[in-house]
Amino acid sequence: MRRSTIAATALLALTAGAAAQESVAHPGQPHNWQINLQEALSPIEEQIHWFSNYTLAFIIPITILVAALLAWCIYRFRESRNPVPSRTSHNTLIEVIWTVAPVLVLLFLAIPSFQLLTAQYNPPREPELTVKATGYQWYWGYEYQPAQTDAANAAEAVSFESYPLSEEDRPGSGKEDKALYPRLLAVDNEMVVPVGTVIRLISTSADVIHSFALPSMGVKVDAVPGRINEYWFEPLKEGIFYGQCSELCGQSHYNMPIGLRVVSKEQFSRWLAAAGSDLEGANAQLTAEIKASGSVAVAGN
pLDDT for the residue numbered 4: 47
pLDDT for the residue numbered 26: 59
pLDDT for the residue numbered 213: 95
pLDDT for the residue numbered 284: 87
pLDDT for the residue numbered 9: 43
pLDDT for the residue numbered 85: 80
* pLDDT exceeds 70 at position 153: no
CA gap 48, 196 in Å, rounded: 19
CA gap 91, 130 in Å, rounded: 59
* pLDDT exceeds 50 at position 98: yes
Q: What is the pTM of this model?
A: 0.79
Pairing of strands 191-194, 257-263: parallel
* pLDDT exceeds 70 at position 91: yes
CA gap 296, 54 in Å, rounded: 33
pLDDT of 188-245, one tens digit each? 999 999 999 999 999 999 999 999 999 999 999 999 999 999 999 999 999 899 999 9
- Assign 84 a pLDDT band (cuts: 50, 70, 90): confident
Task: Cite the DSSP H helix spans in the chain.
Answer: 2-25, 43-76, 92-120, 170-173, 265-275, 279-293
